[in-house]
Structures are given as C-alpha cells and as structure tokens.
C-alpha cells in the first residue's frame, strides 16, 4: 500500500506520475535520454544495469520491472538474479562484469569509488562515454529506488511483466501519453 493516502491501495508508479505530472514528465524525459539515447551500451545492457542497481538496493519494484524489461530485450531469464546473488559467478561476460562491479560499488559505498575502479572499467575495454553512461544509469536508478521505496510503491510479478513489455514496446517517452490519459 502506498504511503500517499490519495492513491489506491494497489497504486503503481504510473499513478504517482499521474498525480504529480509536473515532476514526472521531466523525469520521464530524462529516463528516455539516459536509457534510450545514444550510448556504447545496448538497450538491454542499460536495462540490465538498472535492474542490477535496483537489486543491489533491494528495491523489489524497480528490480522486477527492469529485470522484465531487460529480458524483453534479450537478457536471459535468471541472469539478473544470479548477478545480484554473486556477480563473480554469474554468467555475464567479463567486460560487462567490470561495469556492474563499478555501479555496485557506487551504489553500496559511493565515497569508496576510486580511480582504480574506473580504470578497471577502461581495462575491460570500455571508454569514457561508457563510464559516464553507466554512472548516469546508476544514479538515476538509485534515485528511482529511493522514490519508489520512499512512497511505498509495490507490485507483483504479473505487473513487472506487463511493465517490462510496455517499456520495451513504447520506451520511456511513451509513458508521457499514459500520464495524460
């Protein structure tokens, strides 16, 4: 049950956005830019990063939605659960593991991120644009995790699947039209 008494007991993030469109619409625009704009990361990889950060934060809502979205873009089912449980043994290529290690550290202990952590991303074959984009996805989803958990927004697996398919099909910018309905 959300903490905002004006929302129904089964409210999801879309209802929060509809209630507060003045803050939701710029946030959705930023999601579209970060998650769907030009990047060294594929759409699947950005969704994987978002779901991983959300899993590290134990934000079930965002982890569920973005795991489903990543899977809609071709990430194998179970991969994110394996990554959150033990990144070292997860079946993810080493190049992407370096990025996930970086965003994991940035999420858990941001003040402990070092130049050596960034160098590990570069050594794995990523460039500065990739590090920049990974940090933006990480920061955005740390923000969203706090927003969702702070407002008490919850959902179940069936909603995660619906939302993941929707984000795959219409992107983030498509949510703006849903707010206006």
CATH class of the domain comprising 36-180? mainly alpha
Percent of residues, the chain, with pLDDT higher than 90: 98
Q: What does the domain layout of the chain look like in residue ranges?
A: 36-180
pLDDT band with cut points at 50, 70 and 90 for residue 181? confident
Going by C-beta distance under 8 Å and a sequence separation of 6 or more, which residues neighbour residue 6?
19
What's residue 1's pLDDT? 85
Percent of residues, the chain, with pLDDT higher than 70: 100
């Amino acid at each position: 049950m959300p903490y905002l008494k004006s929302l129904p007991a089964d409210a999801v993030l879309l209802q929060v956005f509809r209630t507060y469109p003045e803050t939701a619409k710029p946030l959705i625009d930023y999601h579209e830019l970060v998650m769907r704009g030009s990047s060294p990361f594929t759409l699947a990889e950005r969704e994987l990063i978002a779901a991983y950060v959300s899993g590290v934060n134990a934000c079930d809502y965002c982890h569920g939605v973005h795991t489903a979205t990543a899977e809609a873009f071709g990430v194998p089912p179970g991969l994110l659960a394996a990554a959150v449980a033990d990144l070292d043994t997860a079946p993810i290529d080493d190049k992407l593991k370096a990025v996930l290690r970086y965003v994991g550290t940035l999420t858990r202990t941001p003040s402990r991120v070092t130049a050596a952590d960034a160098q590990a991303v570069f050594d794995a074959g990523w460039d500065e644009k990739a590090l920049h984009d990974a940090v933006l996805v990480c920061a955005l989803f740390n923000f969203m995790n706090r927003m969702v958990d702070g407002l008490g927004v919850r959902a179940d697996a069936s909603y995660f699947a619906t939302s993941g398919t929707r984000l795959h099909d219409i992107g983030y910018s498509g949510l703006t039209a849903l707010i206006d309905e």
